[in-house]
Amino acid sequence: MNSTLTNLIEAEKKAENLFLEIESRMLLAPGKSEEEINNSIFELAYEMYGIKKYWHKRIVRCGKNTLEPYNENPKNLVLQKDDILFLDFGPIFEEWEADFGRTFVVGNDPYKIKLKNDIESAWHDGKAFFESQSKITGAELYAYCQNLAINYGWIFGGQIAGHIIGQYPHEKLEKEDKTNYIHPENHEDMLGYDKKGNVRNWILEIHFVDTEKQIGGFFEQLLA
């Protein structure tokens, strides 16, 4: 394993510990707004790791806002007693980026719990498919993730299914350069090298939605 990947894995472990502490301290409490939860997590991350720097906007979405992809900025909602929400944070640990996303269910709604479980299972399906290939384009992996959503009984809600990750600041994620994304227009081999001749490291993200019931779920981590 190369040193870059080792550092990325260590950064992700810290992000995972942060998310575990979020649950332990019961920060995801009904009656709190998305903004309030976001600020509480920011303070917790500073307390645990002394970090204030994130490489992308911090996302907390609940209720119907869980339908929205990354680029949207929906109105601030309040978490309800029987609700679903997801977090998507990109903290920087000692100049190494993490990108970590998880879904949480407040209450015992079996349909929401199924969604939460399905997206995690689908992420591992996507990882297994990626690892089984000797060559794979971003478009091929995106199409596979779309089909996973159908197979699990959902709709794929993301405009992308992931992106590159690295040392901060990593290669700039220009929206028009689809080769940095797991995107239907990326026809380059994901297992190829970047412009500097380095192996590219990828984040895989799964976003499933039910537009009728107006709920969605999200699972994201390092594809390694």
pTM: 0.94
Other residues' Cβ atoms within 10 Å of the Cβ of residue 126:
23
**CA–CA dist 97, 149 (Å, integer):** 28
Q: What is the pLDDT along the chain (224 residues), one digit of tens a residue?
A: 678 899 999 999 999 999 999 999 999 999 999 999 999 999 999 999 999 889 889 999 999 999 999 989 999 999 999 999 999 999 999 888 899 999 999 999 999 999 999 999 999 999 999 999 999 999 999 999 999 999 999 999 999 999 999 876 555 555 668 989 999 999 999 999 887 888 899 999 999 999 999 999 999 999 98
Q: What is the pLDDT of residue 1?
A: 64
Q: Do 77 and 63 touch, CB atoms closer than 8 A?
A: yes
| Full domain range(s) for residue 79 | 3-222
Cβ burial, residue 3 (10 Å; 0-12/13-18/19+): exposed
Cα angle value 81/82/88 (rounded, 5°): 95
Cβ pair 198, 100 in contact under 8 A: no
pLDDT at res. 175: 60
Res 2: pLDDT: 79
Q: In this predicted structure, what is the pLDDT of residue 55?
A: 82
Beta bridge partners of residue 193, listed in sequence order: 199
Show Cβ contacts of residue 52 under 8 Å, excluding neighbours closer than 6 positions. 42, 46
CATH number of the domain that residue 144 is part of: 3.90.230.10
1: three-class secondary structure by DSSP: coil
CA dist 39 and 33 (Å) reads 10
Both structure tokens of 32: 């709190």
State the Cα–Cα distance between residues 16 and 209, nearest whole angstrom.
23
Q: How many CB atoms lie within 10 A of CB 101?
A: 24
| Tally of domains in the chain | 1
* Backbone phi and psi for residue 215, each to the nearest 5 degrees, phi listed first: -135, 155
Tell me which residue of 94, 91, 92, 35 sits closest to 62, measured CA to CA: 35
> Could you tell me the CA-to-CA distances from 188 to 76, 138, 160, 181, 184 in Å, in that order?
38, 7, 15, 10, 11
